[in-house]
Amino acid sequence: MKKAPKYLLAIVAVTAAAFALSQTALNRILSLSTYSSSKESFSFSDFYVRTASHGVARMSEDIAVVDIGDLDRAGIAALLDALSMMQPKAVAIDVFFRYPGQEGDADLSDAVCLTEGMVLPLDATRPDLVSFFYDDVLDARFGAVNLSAGSARDVVRSYRPVFDTENGPLEAVGLAVAEQLRPDLAAQVRQRGAASELIRFDGVEFPIFEADEILSGEPSVAETIRGRGVFVGDLHDLQDVHLTPAEADMPGLLIHAKIAQTILSGKPLRQVPRWLVVLIAALVCALFTWISLLIRDHKWGKASSLLVRGSQFLLMVAFFYIGYSLYIGPGILLDFSLPMMMIGLGALAYDLMYGFYDLFTKVLFKKKK
């Protein structure tokens, strides 16, 4: 009990020093990062996503993707007709057909009008970007195809469920598709009313079909398509690839599918608030300092340094494991950068503090002699 005040003072001092050093170090790392064009797009917690993406993924039972390849408008019309015969619940097409006057225009317009559950693309920031047949479509839904990246170097990590446009609210295309499959889950997104929600990129893969597979009408393909939400677009459009936590060049079509799948999972990812991350980091650093003090006071000689470093390593591994388990389990995203850095810098602050303390006591002892 006599050592309690000394322990408390040391723990507070080391934790405060580690926090101050960590803020300087994190800001320096972010300022030097070439991974993205903005600090907001850089996140150490992307490591959870990348790690989970290398695990075993299940095949989605809700979403399918169709690649149009090099089809012209007549071919896309035939593709939509073939899809309609397979009875999907929703079909979202991520292609704009801006100018009329090409072969197959009439067939394409008819196919779009006759496809049940059709979701057509809109750009929330460019109301002039529309397909030529939009005025003829009466029952189709529209969905925003805008993604959250501000530039080609930014990471798409989240999506906006609803965009405010000059024509009123416009839902994301992924939400519009999810609405037709599970209205209750889409309603939960609206009820949360968040300006943006995180996308879950791991755990699920989609059946991806080439246009020829749909046009052939194979029974196995039709069985897979039936009752699903289908995203139709060009998977090889180099102007529509984006950085994500899982891949460096993911097609926009797949990102929209991931958004719909995230909604349909019913388990939204939740980001741990910053204040709680700081509190957790401070507690972890305080725990490490307390363990280090106990080891120091036991006077285990040269083994003390090894034990301190061992406890530091075990705490870092344990923290990452807990964070990863929270991510793949309940979907809680805990940014590990600050706690990890405070554990490391806590060791530095501890060594400096007691190094100066030992030096001071030796000098003082010599003077008394």
Residue 153 has pLDDT above 70, yes or no: no
Same domain membership, residue 235 and residue 101:
yes
pLDDT for residue 15: 78
Domain that holds residue 64: 56-267
Same domain membership, residue 25 and residue 72:
no
Same domain membership, residue 291 and residue 255:
no
Q: How confident is the model at residue 200 (pLDDT cuts 50, 70, 90)?
A: very high
**Of 267, 296, 311, the domain-final residue:** 267
Q: How confident is the model at residue 1 (pLDDT cuts 50, 70, 90)?
A: very low
pLDDT for residue 191: 94
Q: How confident is the model at residue 27 (pLDDT cuts 50, 70, 90)?
A: low
Residue 40: inside a domain: no
* Residue found under tokens 């699920």: 204
- Residue 349 in contact with residue 21, Cβ under 8 Å? yes
What is the spatial distance between Cα 275 and Cα 184, in angstroms, rounded to a whole number? 32
Q: How confident is the model at residue 35 (pLDDT cuts 50, 70, 90)?
A: very low
pLDDT for residue 32: 45
Q: Encode pLDDT of 59-83 as tens digits.
A: 999 999 999 999 999 999 999 999 9
Of the candidates 13, 25, 23, 5, which has an alpha carbon nearest to the alpha carbon of residue 350? 13
pLDDT for residue 33: 47
As given in the structure block, the two tokens for residue 11 are 């723990």
Q: How confident is the model at residue 359 (pLDDT cuts 50, 70, 90)?
A: low
The dihedral formed by the CA atoms of 327, 261, 195 and 138, expressed in degrees to the nearest 10: 180
Residue 39: inside a domain: no
Same domain membership, residue 155 and residue 88:
yes
Same domain membership, residue 174 and residue 139:
yes
Same domain membership, residue 115 and residue 206:
yes
User: Average pLDDT for residues 314-343, to the nearest whole number?
Assistant: 84
Of the candidates 304, 262, 325, 337, which has an alpha carbon nearest to the alpha carbon of residue 30? 337
Same domain membership, residue 140 and residue 276:
no
Mean pLDDT of the chain: 84
Same domain membership, residue 299 and residue 245:
no
Give the rounded percent of residues in the chain with a pLDDT score beyond 90: 45
Same domain membership, residue 241 and residue 103:
yes
Residue 28 has pLDDT above 60, yes or no: no
Same domain membership, residue 282 and residue 174:
no
Residue 41: inside a domain: no
pLDDT for residue 41: 54
User: Average pLDDT for residues 91-115, to the nearest whole number?
Assistant: 93
Residue 152: inside a domain: yes
Domain count, the chain: 2
Same domain membership, residue 281 and residue 225:
no
Residue 184: inside a domain: yes
Residue 334: inside a domain: yes
As given in the structure block, the two tokens for residue 282 are 């401070």
pLDDT for residue 66: 97
